[in-house]
A and B are shown apart, each in its own frame.
Chain A
């Protein structure tokens, strides 16, 4: 681990000075319900004046990919994988009762009827409130996701030491 390579060095210095309540979330899941829980915690914490960092990895990367984005990898395996593993907030399945999309679309309808914000709106709110978003470079590469297919406003592409450097200052660290 090379500490001098940590990109947010200035952010860390500022952090040590102000010592705000800090929340970090590792979002591994790309399930709609789990993403919702992650965003509700993130936006709630930001509204309470806490500094929030979300670290997206594995299936969680689908949440911060552009709608319908596939793999841009050149090898056939990752390309094929990309066709099945489409990104975008509208393509996230429920962790239970997805039923080939039927259950999920019913759940979305219920949410809409009850004026509950969907993932896209929660994501936008999170960005509005200054929630920092980091995409994990290792899994980006592994899953054949190129950075140009990520949504605008992803703050950093980084790895585990960036996450840990933030998490060690956090009083709330969650793995979703």
Chain B
């Protein structure tokens, strides 16, 4: 369990929406805070670290919650 200060729900959204919503949401955080982004698009596993690398925000990690019909991915980003 990774602690998060702010949570963002992008369930049901496909690429590029999780990244776009993340880039908007991250502006509301202060440096050092952690944002949790929940998504059911598997692409986020690779996309979020790549987004962090490009934007300079910190990549904290990913948690997977396997569900009955789909897995929910929770990506954690630390605002730089």
Residues on B with C-beta less than 8 A from A129 are 20, 23
- Given A43-B20, A125-B20, A129-B20; A48-B51 close (CB under 8 Å): yes
Residues on B with C-beta less than 8 A from A48 are 19, 23, 50-51, 54-55
| Residue in B13, B15, B20, B55 whose Cβ sees the most chain A Cβ within 10 Å | B20
- In the complex, what distance in Å separates the CA atom of A75 from the CA atom of B15? 44
Q: Across the interface, do A44 and B14 meet the contact criterion of CB distance under 8 Å?
A: no
Judged by DSSP, the binding face of B is: helix
| B30 contacts chain A at the CB level, 8 A cutoff | no
Instruction: Write the A134-156 contact mask toward B (1 if CB under 8 angstroms, else 0).
Output: 00000000000000000000000
| B16 contacts chain A at the CB level, 8 A cutoff | yes
Judged by DSSP, the binding face of A is: loop
- In the complex, what distance in Å separates the CA atom of A136 from the CA atom of B12? 36
The chain B residue with its CB closest to the CB of A21 is: B54
- In the complex, what distance in Å separates the CA atom of A11 from the CA atom of B78? 31
- In the complex, what distance in Å separates the CA atom of A47 from the CA atom of B15? 12
Q: Across the interface, do A114 and B20 meet the contact criterion of CB distance under 8 Å?
A: no
Q: What is the interface residue range for chain A against chain B?
A: 10 to 19
Instruction: Write the B1-27 contact mask toward A (1 if CB under 8 angstroms, else 0).
Output: 000000000001111110110110000
B14 contacts which of A46, A47, A49, A116 (Cβ < 8 Å)? A116
- In the complex, what distance in Å separates the CA atom of A152 from the CA atom of B17? 23
- In the complex, what distance in Å separates the CA atom of A114 from the CA atom of B51? 24
Residues on A with C-beta less than 8 A from B20 are 43-44, 46-47, 125, 129
Instruction: Write the A107-141 contact mask toward B (1 if CB under 8 angstroms, else 0).
Output: 00000001111000000010001000000000000
Closest 4 CB pairs of A and B: A47-B23, A44-B16, A48-B54, A47-B20
Q: Which residues of chain B have a CB within 8 Å of any CB of chain A?
A: 12-17, 19-20, 22-23, 50-51, 54-55
List 25 contacting pairs A-B, 8 Å CB cutoff, sorted by A: A40-B15, A40-B16, A43-B16, A44-B16, A44-B19, A44-B20, A46-B20, A47-B16, A47-B19, A47-B22, A47-B23, A47-B51, A48-B19, A48-B23, A48-B50, A48-B51, A49-B54, A49-B55, A50-B54, A114-B14, A115-B13, A116-B14, A125-B20, A129-B20, A129-B23
